[in-house]
Chains A and B, each alone.
Chain A
Amino acid sequence: MNALLAAVLILIAISALGVVFSPQTIYSALSLVLTVGLLAVVFLVLNAQFLFAVQLIVYAGAVMVLFVFIIALLDPASEERPRITDPRLALGVLAIAGICTAVFIAARNGITYATSCTTQATTCMHGYAVGSLAATGALGADPYSTFGFPQNAVNQAGNVQVLANQLFHTYVLPFEITSLLLLVAAIGAVYLTRRTRTGIRRDPRIPESWSDDLMERAEPPVPTAPAGAGAPVAEARR
């Protein structure tokens, strides 16, 4: 498990470098697909099975398909790589190295590892809590013999059940607010991407003097309705 996790973490770092430094946008998107897929593997290793499924469905499924669709729709030109001598790039690399070093040193030295933990106290860290449960026989003789991913001590009822209990009891108000957020985002996306042809766009209650030059198309508007039946209706609405 440790070797698997180390390999996946290294691959995540490499594919994230591909996201930032690919000159073509589509390569950045495909690198991001790889990154979020490997992060899902890390979630599975870390006993977050529900987030593993959500990560694959929402990120690798929905969000990345949206990205690839938009790239195909907009066809962005490729961008030259940042030059190595660019001082901003050197500053960024220095910042990455500094912050990573600080995080690593803090994580190595700032956390006290429990060396012996025989009770199920809340201060027990993950591995020792599982170990103590295995010692009492609560998880069977060898809890890891049948399945490679060990049951987290907190996940004994099942990861989805535990998360649902938290989401629908403790955090039910934030959960409902996220539904409102998704509704607002959907309405905003529909509003932003609606068609803007003249004759269809204008609300008759809005006066013509309120023309918004940012909203005007660069080219002259194409006539939408044929000259026969549609045009008088459009004219009458205005």
Chain B
Amino acid sequence: MLSQAMFPWILLTAGFLFTLGALGVLIRRNPLVVFMCIELMLNAVNLALVGYSSFLSSEEGQVFAFMVIVVAAAEVVVGLGLLTRVFSIGRELDVDDLDEMKR
């Protein structure tokens, strides 16, 4: 039987994963790792949703976590397609180097 005292620790882990993913997005320069850190943030949100769903005896959090998983899969497909495109036109994979949109 899961004790309810574990629930804050689940939320703590979710917050830790989310902030760690945000830190990774900010300090890493490889766009593949940046995508992985975004996945980490989405997984943190899923953990919080499922934790609340179990804690509050409501299944709607699981429905929303399912939607988040679908959106994450679509995002990965488009993002990795973009990266292969950037690589195939001969650019280096570095988010500090890919700054045309800033100009």
Contacts and interface: CB of A to CB of B under 8 A. Distances in A.
Indicate whether A and B interact.
Answer: yes
A19 B43 contact: no
Interface residues of B, number: 76
A182 B73 CA distance: 8
Describe A's contact surface by its main secondary structure: helix
Contact count band on A: 35 or more
Contacts, number: 256
Interface string B5-17: 1111111111111
A54 interface: yes
- Chain B interface helix/strand/loop/mixed: helix
Given A150-B2, A218-B89, A50 B77 contact: no
23 contacts: A1-B1, A9-B13, A17-B20, A19-B36, A19-B40, A20-B24, A20-B33, A29-B36, A35-B17, A39-B46, A48-B53, A67-B32, A96-B16, A100-B15, A104-B9, A124-B57, A126-B55, A154-B57, A185-B73, A188-B77, A193-B85, A214-B89, A218-B89
A13 B16 contact: yes
Given A28-B36, A166-B63, A193 B81 contact: yes
Contact of A100 (B16, B43, B71, B80): B16
A225 interface: no
Contacts of B9: 5-6, 9, 104
A50 B58 CA distance: 14
B84 A127 contact: no
Contacts of A55: 46, 69
Interface of A: 1-2, 5-6, 9, 12-13, 16-17, 19-20, 25, 28-29, 32, 35-36, 39, 42-43, 45-48, 50-51, 54-55, 58-59, 62-63, 66-67, 70-71, 73-74, 76, 79, 82, 86, 88-89, 92-93, 95-96, 99-100, 102-104, 107-108, 111, 113, 124-127, 129-130, 144, 150, 152-155, 159, 162-163, 166-167, 170-171, 174, 178, 181-182, 184-186, 188-189, 192-193, 196, 214-219
